[in-house]
Amino acid sequence: MALWFTADLHFGHTNIIGYCDRPFADTEAMNRALIERWNETVDPADDVWVLGDFALGRISETLPLAGTLHGRKLLLAGNHDRCWSGHGERGLTWIDRYLEASFAEVHQGQIEIVVAGVDVLGCHFPYRGDSMVNDRFVEQRPADTGRWLLHGHVHERWQQQDRMINVGTDAWGYRPVGEDDLGQLLQAGPAQRRREPDSDGATAPAWCRAGWPRGCRAAATRGRWHRCAGGTAPLGRSGSPPSTSSLLRAPSG
């Protein structure tokens, strides 16, 4: 039995394709690819921690997709999960729906877990950083006491920032990441690593403003980096070219 982690799948969420530059034509293609890559990676006897934001869209159609995924699935709820405690009593009434959809357990807040022999924290939120310009849900974040943290929420922003490791699907080729891979990062120590290559093999997205495609303009106004098809002129968050030191470097090797 193997142990896997993932987050931020956003099944059924149309806008996430543009926000995070996912390489899918529509939500149907995205849902299908996420299911296929999950099941190619995870065996039925494995455990998979989903660190939040599993399904959006028409929840009566997207939440049951959990039943098509291999493994024993454990959810640590995120802000986009209907069962998140941050939604108050209304959120807690959804827990049974998630259990019925084939999640073995639903957790809130943060967890402590051993990964490759290392005690780590798990939470949907990182210590700091966000998928938006400013940090949100600050009161929901764990205190940074120097421990390793597995998290989601930031989507494609990074794979690793110091002792924060983003297990989100956008950072790992749209597949769960395994304990062995995480163990290598833990052993290597704090670092700055960008996301895994996309399905087309691209390792260094071209950040640009050429032609202002709709998705690129939306991303820019949200203060995000965005890869678009035309041009190569870099765009900083305020419209100016980014400095080399501001870019996350890929892991060596």
Give the pLDDT confidence of 112-122 residue by residue, as tens digits.
999 999 999 99
In a shared domain, residues 112 and 37: yes
In a shared domain, residues 221 and 153: no
Which strand ranges, in their side-by-side order, compose the sheet holding 3-6?
Answer: 103-107, 72-76, 47-50, 3-6, 177-178
In a shared domain, residues 237 and 149: no
Residue 199 within any structural domain of the chain? no
Residue 152 within any structural domain of the chain? yes
Residue 242 within any structural domain of the chain? yes
What is the tens place of the pLDDT at every residue in 15-69?
999 988 999 999 999 999 999 999 999 999 999 999 999 999 999 999 999 999 9
Higher-pLDDT residue of 107, 206: 107
In a shared domain, residues 212 and 173: no
In a shared domain, residues 54 and 171: yes
Which pTM was predicted? 0.77
Closest by alpha carbon to 28, among 17, 20, 39, 19? Answer: 17
In a shared domain, residues 109 and 24: yes
In a shared domain, residues 26 and 47: yes
Residue 198 within any structural domain of the chain? no
User: What CA–CA distance (Å, rounded) separates 208 from 124?
Assistant: 30
Among 171, 193, 215, the domain-final residue is 193
CATH classification at residue 163: 3.60.21.10
Among 193, 218, 242, the domain-final residue is 193
In a shared domain, residues 162 and 137: yes
Residue 95 within any structural domain of the chain? yes
Residue 98 within any structural domain of the chain? yes
Query: DSSP letters along the chain, please?
Result: --EEEE----BT-THHHHHTT-S-SSHHHHHHHHHHHHHHH--TT-EEEE-S--B-SSHHHHGGGGGGS-SEEEEE--TTSTT-GGGTHHHHTTHHHHHHTTEEEEE-SEEEEEETTEEEEEESS-SS--SSSS---GGGSPP-SS--EEE-SSTTS-SEEETEEE--GGGTTTS-EEHHHHHHHHHH-SEEE-PPP-TT--SS--B--TT--HHHHHHHHTT---B-SS------TTSSPPPGGGSPPPPP-
What is the tens place of the pLDDT at every residue in 176-227?
999 999 999 999 999 999 876 554 443 333 333 333 333 343 333 334 433 4
Among 193, 217, 233, the domain-final residue is 193
In a shared domain, residues 44 and 122: yes
Count the domains in the chain: 2
Range of the domain at 62: 3-193
Q: What is the pLDDT of residue 129?
A: 73
Count of Cβ atoms closer than 10 Å to residue 40 Cβ: 9
Residue 48 within any structural domain of the chain? yes
In a shared domain, residues 211 and 174: no
In a shared domain, residues 154 and 232: no
Q: What is the pLDDT of residue 94?
A: 97
In a shared domain, residues 84 and 140: yes
